[in-house]
Amino acid sequence: MELDMAADELKSVLNRLRRAQGQIAGIIRMIEEGRDCEDVITQLAAVSRALDRAGFAIIATGLQHCMAEGGQVNGDRDVMRARLEKLFLSLA
């Protein structure tokens, strides 16, 4: 399954991932500075949600792409559905 996303969808996902990257760098600094455990955990939870949202956006695009190709053979659709379901569950 190829990652075939429209430019605006791709930009949104990339922005989320870049923001998460910045948050991770901040968390590393927090740990190195000996910051409060509660603050570190709060930031870890935030970055986790950001990564989940990026993953769900990619999966949603995959679902939309599959629905747009409604003329596929049923076997192909079943395989694609199983793959997307596995991806979705991997984020759950």
The Cα 27–Cα 67 span in angstroms is 39
Domains of the chain, first to last: 10-91 (1.20.58.1000)
Q: Greater confidence, 40 or 63?
A: 40
pTM: 0.70
Q: So what's the pLDDT on residue 62?
A: 72
pLDDT digits (tens, 9 = 90+) for 17-37: 999 999 999 999 999 999 999
Amino acid at 38: E
Mean pLDDT of 31-52: 95
Q: So what's the pLDDT on residue 91?
A: 76
Q: So what's the pLDDT on residue 1?
A: 47
pLDDT digits (tens, 9 = 90+) for 60-77: 877 776 666 655 556 677
Query: Rounded to the nearest 5 degrees, what angle is found at the Cα of 62, between the Cα atoms of 25 and 13?
Result: 25
